[in-house]
Amino acid sequence: MNGHFVRGRKSGRPEIVLDELHGELLADLCRQVIDLVAPEPAADAASDDPLARELGLDGLDWGGLDAPDTPPPATPDDPVLARLLPDAYQDDPGAAAEFRRFTENDLRQRKCANARTVRTDIAAAGAEGHIVLDEQHSQAWLGAINDLRLALGTNLGVTEDLDEYARGLHEDDPRLAVLAVYHWLGMLQETLVESLTP
């Protein structure tokens, strides 16, 4: 159970024991994702609608009569952010921007919520590092781990053949350490899925 998920014999739920190093690493990676994807604050606080904000619909006033000079939301320039917030329509920039207009804020909030859940669970585990997940937290962990793997894989430029990628790196290449974390996250993801299967 140390460092990977198992199905608890008594709880029947996914369980894991994270040592301090792995717990801190995972919590820090989640913090970085939160920093990266957190929704932008409203540009004009005076026009901020509390109901729209609560429903995740704030920031939808680009274009039209309200803000004719405001450009529609675009694909992020940052490759990692673009991977985490992909265009829904690859061949239609207008449709992609319209879809992004109505969904991006909610997607950002959901990714942040997933990462915060992981951080909260790690903090609550304390020195023992023993974590038992219910269904809701399991889904949050799966989402957060997936986001972390997407981010690291994009930064590394990982192809589908990880072994070939690793063989192409010099033994002193710092990317090998990141690749090890990428592999560990893959194992976490796989064992969590397995522990959810009766």
Buried b (16+ CB within 10 A) or exposed e, 107-125: bbeebbebbbbbbebbeeb
Phi, psi of 15 (to 5 degrees): -130, 150
Q: What is the pLDDT of residue 137?
A: 98
Q: Where are the domains of the chain?
A: 6-196
pLDDT recorded at residue 60: 47
Q: What Å distances lie between residue 23 and 11, 126, 131, 135, 149, CA to CA?
A: 22, 10, 11, 21, 16
| Distance separating alpha carbons of residues 103 and 97, to the nearest angstrom | 10
Among 134, 129, 121, CA closest to 13:
134
| Distances, alpha carbon 170 to alpha carbons 22, 32, 142, in Å | 25, 27, 32
Q: Could you tell me how far CA 11 lies from the centroid of its own chain?
A: 27
What pLDDT score does 26 carry?
97
Give me the DSSP letters along the chain.
-BTS-EE-TTT-SEEEE--HHHHHHHHHHHHHHHHHHSPPPPS-GGG--HHHHHTT-TT---BTTTBTTSPPP---SSHHHHHHS--S-TT-HHHHHHHHHHHHHHHHHHHHHHHHHHHHHHHHHGGGTEEE--HHHHHHHHHHHHHHHHHHHHHHT--S-HHHHHHTS-TT-THHHHHHHHHHHHHHHHHHHHHH--
The pLDDT of residue 55: 53
Instruction: Write out the chain's pLDDT in tens, 198 residues.
Output: 568 999 999 989 999 999 999 999 999 999 999 999 998 765 444 445 565 555 555 544 444 434 445 566 778 889 999 899 988 888 887 887 888 888 888 999 999 999 999 999 999 999 999 999 999 999 999 999 999 999 999 998 886 677 777 777 888 888 888 888 999 999 999 999 999 987
Measured distance CA(77)–CA(95) in Å, rounded? 18
pLDDT, residue 58, reads 53
